[in-house]
Amino acid sequence: MLDRVFRHFLLPKVQFVAARSEAARHRMRATKVLAGHMAPTLRQAEVVWYAPWAGDGPLSRSQVVVVTHSDYEGALVPLRVVGLPGESLEIVEGDLLIDGHRLPEPYLLESQAQEVYSRSVPRVVVAAGTYWLMGDFRDMCKDSRVLGPFAVSTILGEVSKAHPLGGHRAARNVR
């Protein structure tokens, strides 16, 4: 009984504290992925490391960032930057178009973007001071398609590494 309590409740907490401590040694922060909305890039219950970002400099397209939003009830959520300020964006028959040009999305599995809301988004222009962010598992994610563009102030950092709980010594780079 005590062994089960330790393995299921205490060990994950100890492992997460160790991951946060290791991330801090590299001047980074860590948070857990709470859902599968970034699969296959990130898996639920993995830990991601992110470098704090204060809006000082542009983000790049396809970069994974950690955000907060009132709809996430205080949770920190990783999402991918797909639209930059000033660009027009739309999804037509599953293809993401930026300023009318198809953007290759090698991180996206077609089987995870089958719903109508994942395959078609009317044209929007990303306002100054905001970014259009989406999850890699489009059918499962509450992202800019639902919440609109994310203000710079909601973007907390740039994700660089991920690992399962207890695997912080072998963290992999995130792209």
Q: Residue 40: what pLDDT?
A: 93
Q: Helices H, strands E: what count in the chain?
A: 4, 12
Q: Residue 73: what pLDDT?
A: 85
pTM (2 d.p.): 0.88
Across 129-153, average pLDDT: 95
Task: Tell me the domains of the chain and their CATH numbers.
Answer: 2-173 (2.10.109.10)
Structure confidence at residue 9 as a pLDDT band (50, 70, 90): low
Across 126-144, average pLDDT: 95
Q: For the purposes of burial, counting CB atoms within 10 Å of the CB of 78, is it exposed (0-12), middle (13-18) or buried (19 or more)?
A: buried
Q: Residue 54: what pLDDT?
A: 77
Question: Phi then psi for 98, rounded to 5 degrees?
Answer: -115, 120
What tens digit of pLDDT does each residue of 16-74 get? 778 778 888 888 899 999 899 999 999 999 999 999 987 888 899 999 999 999 888 88
Structure confidence at residue 5 as a pLDDT band (50, 70, 90): low
pLDDT at 147 over 60: yes
